[in-house]
A and B are shown apart, each in its own frame.
Chain A
Amino acid sequence: MASREMTGSEIVLKALIDQGVDTVFGYPGGAVLPIYDAIFAQNELRHVLVRQEGGAVHMAEGYARSTGKVGVVLVTSGPGATNAVTGLTDALMDSVPVVCLTGQVPTHLIGNDAFQEADTTGITRPCTKHNYLVKEMDDLPRVMHEAFHVARSGRPGPVVVDLPKDILMGKGAYAGPENFPHRSYRPATKADRDRIAEAVELMAGAKRPLFYVGGGVVNSGPEASKRLTRLVRLTGYPATVTLMGLGAFPASDPQCLGMLGMHGLYEANLAMHDCDVMINVGARFDDRVTGRLADFSPGSKKIHIDIDPSSVNKNVPVDVPLIGDAGEVLGQLLRAWKARDPRPDAAALAKWWKQIDAWRARDCLNFADSETAIKPQRAIKRLYEKTLGRDVYITTEVGQHQMWAAQYFRFEEPNRWMTSGGLGTMGYGLPAAIGVQVAHPGSLVIDIAGEASFLMNIQELSTAVQYNLPVKAFIINNQWMGMVRQWQELLHGGRYSESYTAALPDFVKLAEACQWTGLRATRPDELDDVIDAMIATDGPAIADIVVEKEENCFPMIPSGAAHNEMLLGPDEKAEAPVSEEGMVLV
Chain B
Amino acid sequence: MSDTERHTISVLVDNEAGVLARVIGLFSGRGYNIESLTVAEVDARNALSRITVVTVGTPMIIEQIKAQLDRLVPVHKVVDLTNEGAHVERELALVKVKATGNRRVESLRIADIFRARAIDSTGESFVFEISGSTEKLDAFIGLMEPLGLVDVSRTGVAAIARGTEGI
Contacts and interface: CB of A to CB of B under 8 A. Distances in A.
Contacts of B132: none
Contacts of A185: 73
Interface stretch (A311-319, A434-442, A514-522): A311-319
A184 B73 contact: yes
A138 B29 CA distance: 33
A370 B89 CA distance: 73
A487 to B, nearest CB: 26
A310 B70 CA distance: 9
Interface in B1-56: 14, 17-18, 21-22, 25, 29
A184 B74 contact: yes
Given A121-B18, A184-B14, A129 B73 contact: yes
Interface of A is mostly: loop
A471 interface: no
B64 A184 contact: no
**Interface size of B as a range:** 10 to 19
Given A126-B29, A183-B14, A309 B21 contact: no
Nearest to A317: B60
A309 B73 contact: no
Interface string B63-103: 11001101111111000000000000000000000000000
Contacts, number: 43
A218 interface: no
A151 to B, nearest CB: 11
Given A121-B18, A130-B73, A185-B73, A313 B25 contact: no
A125 B22 contact: yes
B130 to A, nearest CB: 36
A15 to B, nearest CB: 18
Interface residues of A, number: 22
Contacts of A130: 72-74
Contact of A310 (B14, B22, B67, B73): B67
Contacts of B74: 130, 184
Nearest to B16: A132
B25 A126 contact: yes
A313 B63 contact: yes
Contacts of A308: 67, 71
Contacts of B22: 125
Contact of A309 (B25, B70, B72): B70
Given A184-B74, A308-B71, A133 B21 contact: no
Given A125-B21, A130-B73, A184-B74, 20 more contacts: A121-B18, A126-B29, A129-B73, A130-B72, A131-B18, A133-B18, A135-B17, A150-B73, A154-B71, A183-B14, A184-B73, A184-B75, A308-B67, A308-B71, A309-B67, A309-B70, A310-B64, A312-B67, A314-B64, A317-B60
